[in-house]
Structures are given as structure tokens and as C-alpha cells.
Amino acid sequence: MVESDLRRSIPRTDHLLALPEVVAAGERLNQATIKAIISEVQNAARAGEIPVAEVAPAITSKLGSRSASSLAPVLNATGILVHTNLGRAPLSPAASQAITEAAGYVDVEMDLGTGKRSKRGTGVKAALLQASPAAEDVLVVNNGAAALLLAVTAMRGRSTGSGEIIISRGELIEIGAGFRLTDLMTTTGARLREVGTTNRTHLADYADAISDVTSCLLKVHTSNFRVEGFTSSVEVTDLRGLADEHNLPLIVDLGSGLFTPDPALPDEPDIDTALRAGADLVIVSGDKLLGGPQAGLILGRTEAVQTLAKHPLARALRTDKLTLAALEATITHTANPIHDALHMDPNHLRQRTEELAEAVGATVVEHDGRVGGGGAPGVPLPGWAIELPEDCAEPLRLGAPAIVARVHQGRCLVDLRCVSESEDNRIAAAIKRVRADNA
């Protein structure tokens, strides 16, 4: 067929819009979305990717399967708890329910008793103070980066000149996809005063760098890397003494967000310890080890927290009602998928993995899970996976449910650590289908 004939034979938009299935879809989807799907299919036919006869059925099927958002639910079979590309922490049932309930009108800024305006975030604040008794005050912003931005900006206002932030060279990190915390801090106009070396920084290095333009001392968790061997860094307690001598605020950016030490991750710093050691402000993310929604938590001394809360930038970085609701639910309830995956009983994980291997005819191999998302760098979480040929990974990803396994050294590894046990049967069925198709 010559090209012009082909073009003429593709059903026209007005004909397609009049199809009963398309009209019915208009109850659910708006016209712009429907037209976009129609032209996408027409273009595929024009490009010869689908036959002309398939145009109408393809549109009907796409309209039928169009979900509310283009974000597709995924089963995380990588063994990485806080998987940055998969939305970091999955929310607990309580947090999901809180989001649904907060979706409509809520009393986020109204006292229902008096009918008068109230402060937003009081519930989450109370929950955070209960979970972290060493904190005098708290503030919640959009994410960890926003918390750091606000802290650095607000503390700069206390000092003269451009305001220097003193930070160890061993803590100048890039946290992912080219995002450097140092760039974030210097966009505020503050200057970084780097001290020490990559592997070793001493208290005297900080002390020597302090001048009348210093705005704060900053300690940053190295998150996604670890320096081993001849190393030394300065503890928060020692920095506290120095900060007191010079009346400087001490900010500690922990990244991960454990409230208290976790025996499963002995080297991972926690909020309580950092506050007791004397940090004025501790910064963590809500969607890393805390297992909540994206948020930046700032905990610490009243005066320091209030300096941030009163800064005009705080309004630009505030969280929405959905985040406040999910965060409060995460903190006040016990069930938490990240916590469960971190503390999974190894025998139970092994048993589930063996059952899966038996169901699909694969072998069990040792496989270490990881915290991910910049938590507990290099720390293995010993466990198991089933081993499949590498070419299973793509069809598993593209299937329903979408399953993301780990591709490593020419193998496709399915790790159940971050998968809810109730999904094990669906995973087995999906693997069987893929293996049958690949056979």
C-alpha cells in the first residue's frame, strides 16, 4: 500500500471519538487524555507498527487499562530496602490509610472546637517529640535536602559576611544522580570552609578554621560510601565542646533517620544519640530508614529549630497535608515494611525462598540485601535469592505485576526480603509464565 493510501485508511479522530467504548471512557478520563491516546495509536499505525484494523481495538484497550496515574506499582525483588528508583520507602498500611483519609477536606489548620485557625502539623510534631524525647522542638519540611537548605540559610543569618560552614573533607558527598550536598549549600550564598583530609579530620582542624565569619559547624553522614583503613573523624560530643566555646550552632545531617540505635546496623548513627551528644539540629529524611513519606525532619533545641521555623524560606519548603498525615501514622504505628525487611527472620526468608525455588524449578543462592538510599553503606544483610537466567529480568519487569529483580553477573536474582509474603504466589506464577515463554 502506498503511503497516502495507508494514511487515508487510518480511522479519523472524529470517527474514533464517536466509538461507544470511547464515549463511555469519557465518564472517567478527560478529553485531552483520550485524544492523546487516540493520536498515539494513529501514529503507531502510520509508522506501520500496528495494522490499520487494530487501531480501534488498541484504543479501546489502552483506554480501559489507563490507571489514575502513570506510576505503576512494582514488586521490589532486589533486596534493596530503600530503593531510590522505586520510590524509596513503601508506606505502612496505617500511613496509606492516613493519606486516603487526608485526601479530602481535613482540619489541618482549624481547631474544630473553636472553629478558629490553628497551627498545621501539631499532631506530627507531638508524635515526633514522643518518639525522640531528647528533642526540644521539631520542624518538618519537604525532604532532607530542603531541611539542610533551610538550616544552612537560617544559620547564615546569624553570622557576619557570607557566613562560613565548617565541614570535614571526608564528608563532602554526592548523594546520587550528580546531586552534591556541597552545591546545594553554596547556592545559599554560604561558603564552605573545608577542613581535614579525605580520610582524617581532627578537632584541631575545626578549631583552626573558626573565625568571626563562621556561621555553623556541620557534620554530614557519609551515606553512600565508606572510608576504611587509616581514618579518623570527630565525634559530635567533641564538636559540641568546640561549638560552645565559640557560641556556634552545631548541625548534624544524618540522612537515614533511625530514632534510636538499631542492633541490625551497629554503625548507623541515630537521632537520639546525636541529640544527646549535643547537636543543636539533627536532620534526617522521612523516606529512608524511618520508612515514611518523603519529608525532611529537623529535630533539636528550641532556639535553633525556631530560627529555622521563622525563616521566610520555611514557607516555601513546607509539607502538604498528605505528608503530615502519613508521617504521623508512620511514627505512631508499629507495622512498617522497611523495619520488617531490615529485621526479617533469616530462617523464614530462607523457607520462603526455598518454596519459591521449588515452585518454579530454580536454585537458591546466598544473596545479601542492602539498606540502600545512602543508609548503612557497604553493610550486607545476609539472606537468599533464587537464581534465574539473566533474560528473565526484562519480561518480569514488563509483566503484571511488574517485578524488579536484581541483575548481577549475568544472572537474574529474585530476593523476597522486600516483598510482602502475600505476594509470593503471584511472583511464582509470573516466573513460571516467563520461563514457559522463554523455553
Q: Could you list the residues that contact ligand PLP (CB under 6 A)?
A: 143-145, 148, 175, 181, 220-221, 223, 253, 255, 285, 296, 374
Kindly state the smallest distance separating residue 143's Cβ from ligand PLP, in Å: 3
Kindly state the smallest distance separating residue 273's Cβ from ligand PLP, in Å: 16
Q: Which is nearer to ligand PLP, 60 or 188 (CB)?
A: 188
Burial of 200 (0-12, 13-18, 19+ CB in 10 A): middle
Give strand pairing partners of 406. Answer: 413
Kindly state the smallest distance separating residue 183's Cβ from ligand PLP, in Å: 12
Kindly state the smallest distance separating residue 390's Cβ from ligand PLP, in Å: 31
Q: Which is nearer to ligand PLP, 41 or 220 (CB)?
A: 220
Q: Which is nearer to ligand PLP, 256 or 307 (CB)?
A: 256
State how far the Cα of 223 lies from the Cα of 197, in Å rounded to an integer.
18
Element spanning 34, H or E: helix 31-46
Q: Which is nearer to ligand PLP, 166 or 419 (CB)?
A: 166
321: number of Cβ within 10 Å: 19
Return all residues near 315 (Cβ < 8 A) that are at least 6 apart: none
Kindly state the smallest distance separating residue 140's Cβ from ligand PLP, in Å: 12
Q: Which is nearer to ligand PLP, 224 or 307 (CB)?
A: 224
* Whether the Cβ atoms of residue 229 and residue 261 lie closer than 8 Å to each other: no
State how far the Cα of 238 lies from the Cα of 234, in Å rounded to an integer.
7
Kindly state the smallest distance separating residue 142's Cβ from ligand PLP, in Å: 8
State how far the Cα of 435 lies from the Cα of 423, in Å rounded to an integer.
18
Q: Which of 346, 347, 339, 352 is nearest to 368 (CA)?
A: 346
Q: Which is nearer to ligand PLP, 159 or 319 (CB)?
A: 319
CA distances from 313 to 301, 307, 318 (A): 19, 11, 9
State how far the Cα of 348 lies from the Cα of 353, in Å rounded to an integer.
9
Kindly state the smallest distance separating residue 312's Cβ from ligand PLP, in Å: 20
Q: Which is nearer to ligand PLP, 11 or 377 (CB)?
A: 377
